[in-house]
Structure 1
Amino acid sequence: MTETTDPAFPSFPMARGCPFLPPGQYAELRAEQPVSQVTLPSGSTAWVISTYDLVREFLADPRGSANRALPAYPSVLPRQPVTSAEAKGLLTWMDPPEHTTHRRMLVNEFTTKRVAAMAPHIQQITDACLDEMLRSGGPVDLVQSLSLAVPSRVICELLGVPYGDRELFDKRTNVILNHQSSVEERMTAWRELRGYLRDLVAGKVEDPRDDLLSRLVKKYQDAGIFDLETLTGLTNALLVAGHETTANMISLGTVFLLEHPEVLAEFTANPETAPQVVEELLRYFSIADYSTSRVTTADLEIGGVHIPEGSGVIALNSAANHDETVFENPAEFDAHRDARRQMAFGYGIHQCLGQSLARLELEIVYKTLFRRIPGLRLAVPADQLPFKHNAAFYGIYEVPVTW
């Protein structure tokens, strides 16, 4: 990644014209220059890839490293001086063979069969949150009452994290992912969260329970590769990924459906279509737009463009999911389309491990919310909602609703 202030390179991240759609410039990039360069907030340049086929091709190429500690990694946030110990165990930062070893330790915990067995309990959690919402009466903030509450409780119970501590990790996660946080604020939050999780994992070593973290401790001990810092990093990755992204999708999907009553009416009349609706919502929003970033470890050519070794590359999954050659009329929400090819969960070896769990939570929450509160409506105009234009994962900070 070279230093430049060349005005020929557009600034990145790019602004959304509509809060429900990706930046309009993505369509221009796909049409005119699907592999091109942009200028990051730091003043450095990086490559962006914006068509479906090229994004898949690049993310499947082993010459793209996910290691965010590399100097050329195309970060849109202020660079964090993370030490090797502080980065240890972060699955999304790893390359093979290290990544392969640790993903194998986790994959059996998120099989389709194992996740499906969680459905009754997720339903209970969702109903309990809605019971509390209804008791309190509107208006309430959907983000705190439901969007964060359901996935936070699910992932806490799965991992064995005390749910009463959720405020600690929710607040610190928000600071870490917010573009407006200073480097010092983000590093303080990072170290506080990691310290909390280190103590939690150490507690599982001394007093194992019937939870995922305790099972992981035993797996690593049996394999002779247990390391406290590694397990701390894995826990960090699972905890953040397990609630933050799903929470954002619950909020965005709910607001979208409320603002599109014809889509909502069809969904509530046919709740069995929840899997298709969820898949299309995932494609439509693609909230982790630039988490699929890499650094090239060798020269490569993609789309007829030469990208040198040591270059930062951002594979835009939102642009890919709105590629007109793959998804007809991509700016239109169509619950009847086959959106299973969407890449909201990434692609390749780093494709989201917990995607089956996320889908299940979204299906249950959307179906239950609109069945139990059919008169749900926004308490403020949609254009007044504080969308997360300044965060690593797109979403909404607060959604006042009533009924």
Structure 2
Amino acid sequence: MHASRQEGLDVWKITRYNGPHTCSNPAISKDHYKLDSKIICHFIMPLVEQQPSVKISALQAECKDKIGYELSYRKTWKARHIAIVKIYGGWEESYGRLRRLMITLCKQNPGSPVLIEDDELFIDNHLVLGYKVFDRMFWSFKQLIEGFKHCRPIICIDSTFLYGKYKGCLFCATALDGNNHIFPIAWAIVDCEDGRNWDWFMKCLRVFVTDREDICVISDRHKGIIKAMQDDWWQPPTAHHRFCIRHSLSNYNTKFKNSVMKDALCKAAHQNQKKKFYEAMYKIRDMHQETYDWAVKIDSQKWTRSHDGGKRYGSMTTNTIESMNGMLKGLRALPITAMLERTLKCYELMFHALGDEVYWPESNGDPLVPDSTRKRQKGRPMSSRRNNKMNWMLKGKLRERSTIYCSICREPGHNRQSCPIKNVDR
């Protein structure tokens, strides 16, 4: 080992060492600048094809085992995106195949309702003939419509976001069969969750799916749903609207942030007898007047079991929808046609197979194109969701924000753009 003293400093610098190295240089990245996303795509293609919702961390671990490099999150995400396009096609191409897919679905499953609404295509204020802009779509299956006749008269409705290249929302309606199993009824893809789309979806349910009387609809307290339920088709005695207690308590907790009173409201809502409900509410009034005032403003029929009149059949939440959304979470990041095809595979034992795309019938309508105004901006979107006890908990406390680590020096507190040693030669 050779060492020399730094001039003007009381520091010795080791210039030569022939022994084994036991530490790593933080300035040397464990990634490789020539290992781009296209090459990584070749390694992760089988994993993405088998499981489109595979996490980035799992792909990073797989690449580390195969090629020995620790890849950055951004590079691995781009590689997964390229793999999805190669396997399932691009987003624009997927919209062009949508009509043929839904026509095939109706042909293989006669009586299945499908409704696609579109708009004219304008480019630079000029009408373009031969193409239509996708607006929204509703679909169900004849098998589900017939099966719902033998289920409890309860429909749970909710929405969830699409994660793909274009913004959108997936509406879903489910029921419970005699064995308390989830029974899906209908779906819709729309641009956003608002009163216009909820009114359209609820009308489609009445026109295409069911005309049963005395149906109970359970949902959250979204203003669009409440407005849509004012339609004569969904008014008593034809139908009854009830609120999901889980969402209602989440709204309360967001406003008051009082977990003790939230639990007290939950206990009151689940009481079977009116006497016990009033006793629980009087206790709440003595403990916290503001909570009592908040609760009495809501119609007791809509959020309590004691005043429900048996319309809920004991169902206090829309957990069936949450389970459905969880199952489809990974598929919601795929192109629209691929998402529908994968959804059908989840129920392929109930429906007739669509067959190979080569044998799909041709569509009489103009091919669809996505709405350019719904295209997502580049970069990770800022989260505006308020997390509470409905989301995730860690040892009774909300999970703290994760620490940022640099992909070059692996040090916390900054990223690769602000790394002080990013210009060091590799």
On whether the aligned pair clears a TM of 0.5, the verdict is no
Q: Which of the two has greater helix per residue?
A: 1
Decide which structure has the larger Cα Rg and report it: 2
Report the TM-score when normalising by structure 2: 0.29
Structure with the greater relative contact order (CA < 8 A, sep ≥ 6): 1 or 2? 1
